[in-house]
Amino acid sequence: MVVSLVLGFLAMFVATMGMKCTRCGGDDKVKKARIAMGGGIIFIVAGLAALVACSWYGHQIVTDFYNPLIPTNIKYEFGPAIFIGWAGSALVILGGALL
């Protein structure tokens, strides 16, 4: 999840440099489009990293829940945070694809 956050901040910086309204990188439209596309690719990778982290933890919850060797008072269930993580990672991937 930390990797996803770092990549997300890097993608915001790169995508900002690729916007048409900024002066970073000159006025070359092709260069700006490639920089924006690079930011979008980094956003997609950040979303995939968050999706992997949330899914990995979800798998751990399900595995521990059905494990008979783990006491009942230690078992976790899905809460709103994991669903927010899944939805957020899906939106980041969608945003990167649109960029």
| % of the chain beyond a pLDDT of 70 | 100
For the chain, the average pLDDT equals 92
Specify whether the CB–CB gap between 4 and 46 falls below 8 A: yes
Residues 40, 48 contacting (CB under 8 angstroms):
no
Sketch the domain layout of the chain as residue ranges: 2-98
CATH class of the domain at 2-98 = mainly alpha
Question: What is the C-alpha to C-alpha distance for residues 50 and 32, in angstroms, rounded to an integer?
Answer: 27
pLDDT of 80 above 80: yes
Across the range 78-82, mean pLDDT stands at: 93
Are the C-beta atoms of residues 53 and 65 closer than 8 Å to each other? no
| Spatial separation of the C-alpha atoms in residues 44 and 5, rounded to whole Å | 12
Which of the 8 DSSP states describes residue 2?
H
Above 90 in pLDDT, residue 44?
Answer: yes
The pLDDT assigned to 76 comes to 86
